Structure 1
Amino acid sequence: MQSILRGYRLWNSLVFCWAIFSCNYIPTKAKQLRGFALGTTYNIQYVANASVDKVQTGIDSILNVINKSLSTYLPQSDISMINRGDTTVVVDYHFRAVFEKATEVWNATGGYFDPTVGALVNAYGFGPGKAINDLNPQQKDSLLKLTGWQKTKLNQDQTIKKESPNIYIDFNALAKGYAVDIIGDFLLKSGSLNFMVEIGGEIVAIGNSPKTTKPWKIAIDDPLQLEQRKFLQTISLKNEALASSGNYRKYRLDPVSGIRFVHSVNPLNGSAIKTNILSTSVKAPDCMTADAWATALMVMPLEKGKALIENDPQLEALWTVVDEGEKIKSVESQNW
C-alpha cells in the first residue's frame, strides 16, 4: 500500500502538470465492479481507460491467488496445509507479506493481535474448525498453550516453522485488508489515479471521487442501528485506508451453557466475552495495517489502545463504547 501512495504522488504530479495546460479537462465517470470474495462482498469504483472486463479479470486473478495462499476455508490452500502440520509448504509473496505485518502488529500491540488465536476462534465457533460446546477452563487453557505468535517462524527457505503442529494460524484479520491493498496497486498500475476499493467494509480510497472531485465520503455504521442503516459518522478519505471491526454482527450462543460468545477473541486470556467496546474503526496508510489494528483494539482495554494509537502518527481510531451509565458514546483518538 505504501507503493500505492508513492506511485500516486508521482503520477499525480505528472497529471497535474498536464492539466495546467488543459482548460477543457472533465473528470471521467467512475466505473464500478461488484461481487463476492473472501466470504463477503466487494465494491470497487475507479477511473481509468482500462476496460471493465480487463480490470475484472485482473481482480479475479488477484483474489484467486490470495485465496490459494491465505484462506483457511480452502483445504488445499497454503495456510490450511500448514495448519495441518505440513512443514514442506513453500509460501508465496502474499503469505510472507501478511506474516511480516502480523509480526509487526503483534509486537506493537503487546500480543493483543495474534493470528495463532485460530484454535480458540474455531473452538468458539467462528472458524472452519469444529466448535466446542460448553468450553471448560481446562480446554481453554489447553488451547491457550497453542497461542503465541512467537511460536511461529518464517524460515529462510520460505517454509513455516511452528513449535507445535497443532498451532492454528488464522490470517482472516489481515486478508481482506491485504487484498484491498493489492487490488489498489493493480488499479494504480492500470492507470487509475482516482479509485475506491472496499471488501467487506475494509477500504482504501485514492485521489478524489469523480462525482464530486472531492475526497471520497465513507459512512461508518452505527453498531446499534444496522437494520435501519444509520451511520455513526461520515468521514472524508483520501490517499489512506479505513478498516472496522465489531461484535455486533458475529456472535454465537452456546447451546449448552447459553453463554453468548463474540468473534473477537482475546489472545492473551482466551476470552470471547462481550466487553464495553462495540466497534472500532482505524485509519492508516494501508488497509492491512488498519485491519489488524481494528481487530486488536476490540480486545484491548480502551485507554491502552488509545495511548498506542496516539503514539503512532500514522494511525487514527474511533471506538463505539458503552459507558458506565449504559449509554452509547464515541471515543476518538486525538487526530481523528
Structure 2
Amino acid sequence: MKKILLTGAALLASAVSLQAQAERDYISIVGSSTVYPFSTVTAERFGRSTNFPTPKVESTGSGGGLKLFCSGVGSSTPDITNSSRQIKSSEIELCAKNGVIDVVELMIGYDGIVLANSVKAPRMDISLKELFLALGKMVPDAKNPNQLIENPYKTWNQINPAFPATAIEVLGPPPTSGTRDAFVELAMEGGCKQFPLIADMKKTDEKKFKAVCHGLREDGGFVEAGENDNLIVQKLAATPNAFGIFGFSFLEENQDKVQGSIVNGKEPTYDAISDGDYPVSRSMFVYAKKAHVGVIPGLQEFLLEMTSKRAMGEDGYMSEKGMITLSEDKRKDVEETARTLRVLKAK
C-alpha cells in the first residue's frame, strides 16, 4: 500500500471539518450485498442490546461502497463499508487523496460464489473450463484453438453433450459488485488459463490476458441482474432453465428454491469452502474509518460486537446466516484489531 501523508494543516482542517459535520448520531454502513446480511443482523442486535441507535446498512456493492467510503471524512460520508473482496491499491490512494488516512481492515469470514439454478431443474456438474466457455466474451475457436472468436455457444449442450439442451442464461452481478470481481478472478480466470493460447498470453501480455479472462459475454448469455441477490433467487425460482451467480449465504437461506452446481467436482458446502476445496471461495471484509471513532457514537463498540465470539464465532449468529467462520485464533486476532484500531500499513 502506498502511504500518502497529509500536511499538519490539512490534517487539522480535516479534523475540524469532521467535528463540525458530526451531526449524525447513528452508524452509516454501505457496501457489499454479500456482506449485507451479516452487517444487518449485527446492526439489529447492536441496536437492541445497547443504548446506541441501530446502524443504517445499505447495499451498494463492494466497489460502490468503497467509492463512497473513500470520498472523505465527516458525517456526510459512511463510517464503514462492507466488501466481498480486499480493498484495491487504487481505492487506498483515492481514500488518502480525500483525507481518509487511517483505515481499519477486518476480515470477518469466508464465502463461496455459487452457480445456482432452480431445484425443479437438473443439477449442473461443471468444470471451470466449461464455465468460461459458457460465459466468456471471447473464447478459443473449437476448430482452430490458436484463434479467439466471439462466443458461439448458445445452448449448454453445445459445450458438453451431457449438459441440458437449453439456452445459456446466467444472471449475475454488475461490475460494481465484489461478487463479480471475485467470480471473474477465481472462476473465469481459473477456467480460461487452462487453454494453452490464453495461458501463453499471460506470459506475454498480462493486460490482454485479463481482458480475455475477465470479459463476460454481452449477447444475452450473461445478464446483469443488479446488486440484490434475493431478486436473482426469485428469478431462478420462476425460470427453471436459468442460472444465477451469488454468495453461498443466499444459497443456504433458499435451499427450498435453488441448488448450487458442482464445480470442478466439488459441492459448494460449508466445509468445502472453509477448507478451500471449493474452487470459487473468497474472504469477506469490513473497513472502518478510525477518524470517525469517538465522533460517531458507538462506532468502535459496533466493531467489537461484530468481531465478538457471539457474532463471528463458530456458533455465532452470523454463522446462522450462512457466514463461513474464521478459526478461533484468527477471530481473536481480528477482534484485537478492532480493539486497538490497528490500521492498514504500507506494503
Aligning the two structures, in what range does the TM-score lie when normalised by the shorter sequence? under 0.3
Higher strand share: 1
Tell me which of the two structures has the higher relative contact order, counting C-alpha pairs closer than 8 angstroms and 6 or more residues apart: 2
Normalised by the size of structure 1, how large is the TM-score?
0.27
